[in-house]
């Protein structure tokens, strides 16, 4: 996208903001402020008496998919927004204006290469729901199975690529002129977001994500994931089982059905941390429009999720680092948190551990032993960001999806059960997972994974020992007092030491493996929630070196 087109898009964004009476957004935004003289060229909204929340929602809808997704994310944080604005933005979760159903039918006819009545026994032209990137229609397969058909919006890729280009320009300007860019790394964050949102346009990828999550939770009483019907899926079309349940945002209906809300909230905690730690495959678009509750048994409610276009994963070091920080946080071991970040290189090595420890304690100590309803994570985050600036901590772009998911979950938690004690719920579950990672089960797994390499090393060891012995017996193993040969001898001795070590390790590994296999027993991971994620948002994890 050329700079000229980018500039035109920036002007277009201003036009929409002015149209809906949101001029203050422009004057408060340094990057847009130089163009504020365009105010006088834009027509004003015919009716500026509409509530502010409605005007914001309409502006985001008109600006396109990227802005709608921003509104969806913000809508989950009712603790940060006035009620009227939160209510309006919540409509972006599943009530985005649809495109004509006849157009969707035409797209599907082209994709399948034959009339829809030859593909489905029934196809409902009226959309069931619409979102920023796609919309869904109800239908039935030839055998009568009820399904939903998800179709990408026409031209949505071009719209997203256009706005991503604008975000790149803004990030580059921030990199150049904003002092805080080194720590928050806006260009890398935008690049990470671009990859995520473009992946979301491939519905075959979403279908594969759905199938993987269904396998992960097969037999679980916590989460139901719909079935995918692969024969009907294409890159721009996905067909999956139609599920039924109460939207998680409909608290009145959940209470009327006698749902055990507390258990529902605690199950949500377990689902999240099971995905992040045990499966390392988590649903990263958990706004209320994508979550339903099945209440066949109100005392044991079950989540049902849809829309797996955005999935997050973590590297093993990310997982371990997250867990260690969470546990140190729950144990109030602020010294360990500080030491972890210095050792990882996330803060300069000259940082004093005691100063960082004090900064973290000052922010986090006041929020312990309080229910979710009494904790302002917005204030905690602001204070942590202030501490981060002092110690030059950096944000890791690859963890943006996790941050986004954590905040979505916090919003859901506030809606469901504000009295939930996050610390009591999270700590024991995470402790069990860590014990599993460093205990007997983890050692057995490591032995199994490395057995092929260990077998190869043991196979080569007799030959190497025999060769050295023959050289010594024949007098061919000579020692000359010059530097090159001394280096060669040193290398040979080190090789012998390594080979002996491998042999010793091999014997020990086989013996230990036999014993551990006989004694093996381990608990499964449960799962906690979000509060410590706010800490992690700022403090991060070790970067690769």
In 242-384, DSSP assigns E strands to: 246-247, 282-283, 291-294, 302-305, 311-312
Beta-carbon neighbour count of residue 258 at 10 Å?
A: 11
Beta-carbon neighbour count of residue 436 at 10 Å?
A: 18
Nearby residues of 239 by Cβ (< 8 Å), 6 or more positions away? 139, 141, 147, 148, 149, 150, 228, 229, 232, 233
Beta-carbon neighbour count of residue 514 at 10 Å?
A: 11
Alpha-carbon span 263 to 274, nearest angstrom: 16
Alpha-carbon span 260 to 266, nearest angstrom: 10
Alpha-carbon span 495 to 182, nearest angstrom: 45
Q: Using an 8 Å Cβ cutoff, are 394 and 186 in contact?
A: no
Adjacent-strand bridge partners of 138: 148
Alpha-carbon span 6 to 421, nearest angstrom: 47
Beta-carbon neighbour count of residue 13 at 10 Å?
A: 22
Pairing of strands 302-305, 223-224: parallel
Alpha-carbon span 200 to 238, nearest angstrom: 12
- Give one word for 540, left, alpha or beta, with left for phi > 0 and alpha for psi -120 to 50: left
Nearby residues of 463 by Cβ (< 8 Å), 6 or more positions away? none
Alpha-carbon span 509 to 451, nearest angstrom: 9
* Tally of CA atoms within 13 A in the half-sphere of 90 that contains its CB: 18
Per the annotation, the verdict on 285 as an active-site residue is: yes
Q: Residue 84's Cα: distance from chain center in Å? A: 28
- 47, 124, 175, 285: the catalytic one is 285
- 535: tokens are 């800490």
Alpha-carbon span 429 to 244, nearest angstrom: 30
3-state secondary structure labels for all residues of 103-141: HHHHHHHHHHCCCHHHCCCEECCCCCEECCCEEEEEEEC
Catalytic residue numbers? 285
């Amino acid at each position: 996208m050329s700079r000229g087109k980018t500039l035109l898009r920036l002007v277009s964004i201003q036009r929409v903001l002015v149209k809906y009476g949101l001029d203050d957004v422009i004057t408060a935004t340094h990057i847009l402020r130089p163009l504020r003289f365009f105010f006088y060229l834009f027509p004003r909204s015919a009716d500026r008496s509409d509530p502010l929340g409605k005007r914001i929602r309409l502006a985001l809808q008109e600006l396109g998919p990227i802005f709608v997704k921003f509104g969806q994310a913000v809508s989950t944080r009712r603790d940060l927004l006035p009620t009227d604005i939160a209510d309006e933005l919540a409509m972006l979760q599943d009530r985005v204006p649809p495109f004509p159903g006849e157009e969707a039918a035409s797209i599907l006819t082209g994709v399948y290469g034959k009339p829809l009545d030859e593909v489905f026994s029934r196809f409902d032209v009226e959309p069931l729901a619409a979102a920023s990137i796609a919309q869904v229609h109800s239908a039935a397969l030839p055998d009568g199975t009820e399904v939903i058909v998800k179709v990408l919006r026409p031209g949505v890729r071009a719209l997203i690529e256009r706005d991503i280009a604008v975000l790149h320009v803004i990030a580059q300007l921030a990199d150049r002129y904003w002092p805080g860019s080194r720590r928050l790394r806006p260009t890398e964050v935008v690049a990470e977001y671009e990859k995520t949102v473009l992946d979301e346009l491939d519905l075959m990828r979403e279908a594969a994500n759905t199938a993987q999550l269904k396998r992960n939770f097969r037999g679980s009483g916590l989460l139901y994931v719909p079935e995918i019907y692969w024969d009907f899926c294409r890159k721009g079309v996905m067909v999956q089982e139609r599920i039924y349940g109460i939207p998680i945002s409909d608290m009145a209906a959940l209470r009327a059905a006698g749902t055990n809300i507390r258990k529902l909230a605690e199950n949500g905690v377990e689902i999240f941390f099971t995905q992040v730690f045990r499966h390392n495959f988590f649903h990263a678009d958990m706004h209320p429009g994508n979550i339903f509750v099945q209440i066949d048994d109100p005392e044991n409610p079950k989540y049902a999720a849809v829309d797996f276009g955005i999935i997050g994963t973590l590297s093993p070091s990310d997982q371990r680092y997250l867990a260690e920080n969470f546990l140190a946080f729950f144990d109030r071991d602020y010294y360990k948190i500080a030491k972890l970040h210095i050792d990882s290189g996330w803060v300069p090595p000259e940082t004093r551990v005691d100063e960082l420890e004090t900064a973290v304690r000052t922010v986090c100590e006041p929020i312990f032993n309080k229910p979710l309803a009494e904790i302002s994570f917005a204030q905690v985050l602001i204070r942590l960001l202030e501490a981060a600036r002092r110690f030059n901590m950096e944000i890791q772009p690859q963890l943006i999806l996790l941050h986004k998911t954590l905040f979505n979950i916090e919003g859901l938690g506030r809606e469901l059960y504000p009295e939930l004690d996050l610390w009591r719920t999270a700590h024991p579950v995470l402790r069990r997972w860590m014990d599993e990672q460093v205990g007997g089960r983890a050692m057995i797994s490591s032995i199994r994974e490395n057995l092929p390499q260990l077998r190869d090393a043991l196979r080569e060891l007799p030959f190497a020992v025999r060769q050295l012995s023959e050289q010594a017996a024949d007098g061919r193993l000579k020692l000359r007092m010059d530097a090159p040969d001394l280096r060669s001898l040193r290398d040979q001795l080190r090789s012998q030491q390594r080979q002996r070590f491998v042999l010793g390790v091999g014997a020990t590994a086989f013996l230990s493996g036999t014993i551990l296999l006989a004694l093996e027993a381990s608990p499964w991971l449960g799962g906690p929630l979000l509060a410590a994620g706010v800490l992690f948002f700022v403090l991060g994890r070790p970067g690769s070196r």
